[in-house]
Amino acid sequence: MKSLSEIDTVSKRASRATGFEWGIAEEIGKNIRLLEMFGIPGVKNLNYYFRTRSKKKFEKIILISDDNKKKQFEYCPIITGVNFLDQVRSLENLEKIKFENIAFPLLFLPFVSRASEVLGKKILLEMDNRNFLLNYNHSIYSNSLNDGIVNLSNNIIIRFIENVDSFEEKEWKELYKLSENTFVEESDSLKQSGAGAGLTDND
């Protein structure tokens, strides 16, 4: 089995060999490592994307808005991801962000996962009939993790999820009250039996 470090290094070098600048190649290496760590077929999709990229053109999006529609070609998942991550702080106040026709969208996914960590917010990514909940770049929950190669997503929607407690205030107070049973007032006997108590200084 290949290590995550090997996957990162080979993905980075292969990306540079296909024409990406070193900076972007390094981002790709990190992303493929991330996908494989979460059990998503990153190497498989990247390899197939490079094969396809040598034969056809992809559109590069620079400035991202709330509704992004391709002009001619399918969007490149790498350039779209790089610019999404770079611009995410100015995008987070939008209700939702839509993309039309991103090629090999699983390669776009880790950029959104990393954006979740940057913002400190969960992000819901809807990719046609696939849903991904991205949790601060620590985990990915999905109804579709191992679909093999995904050539195209016709519609992608990104929603930023505001941080709220998953419980009611009443439940929190009940749990907190129970936790108070561990709060023991320090007595003289506790002080004497504490760390270092009763030791004689022989100096």
> Has residue 192 been placed in a domain?
no
Average pLDDT over residues 104-123: 97
Query: How many beta carbons lie within 10 A of that of residue 82, not counting itself?
Result: 21
> Has residue 187 been placed in a domain?
no
> Has residue 185 been placed in a domain?
no
Average pLDDT over residues 69-89: 96
> Has residue 21 been placed in a domain?
yes
Tokens of 19: 């024409």
Residue 185 clears pLDDT 80, i.e. is over it: no
- Measured between alpha carbons, how far is residue 159 from residues 15, 143, 150, 163 in Å? 29, 17, 21, 13
183 SS3 class: coil
Which of 107, 66, 106, 112 minimizes the C-alpha distance to 86? 112
Q: What is the pLDDT of residue 183?
A: 81
Q: What is the pLDDT of residues 14-63, one digit of tens each?
A: 999 999 999 999 999 999 999 999 999 999 999 999 999 999 999 999 99
> Has residue 112 been placed in a domain?
yes
Q: What is the pLDDT of residue 143?
A: 85
Where residue 197 falls among pLDDT bands split at 50, 70, 90?
low
Q: What is the pLDDT of residue 158?
A: 98
> Has residue 36 been placed in a domain?
yes
Give the domain extent around 37: 4-161
Q: What is the pLDDT of residues 119-174, one digit of tens each?
A: 999 999 999 999 999 999 999 998 877 778 999 999 999 999 999 999 999 999 99
pTM: 0.85
Strands 130-135 and 139-142: antiparallel
DSSP assigned state of 9: H
Residues 6 or more apart whose Cβ sits within 8 Å of residue 86: none
> Has residue 74 been placed in a domain?
yes
> Has residue 134 been placed in a domain?
yes
Which one is predicted more confidently, 56 or 187? 56
Residue 188 clears pLDDT 80, i.e. is over it: no
Q: How many domains does the chain have?
A: 1
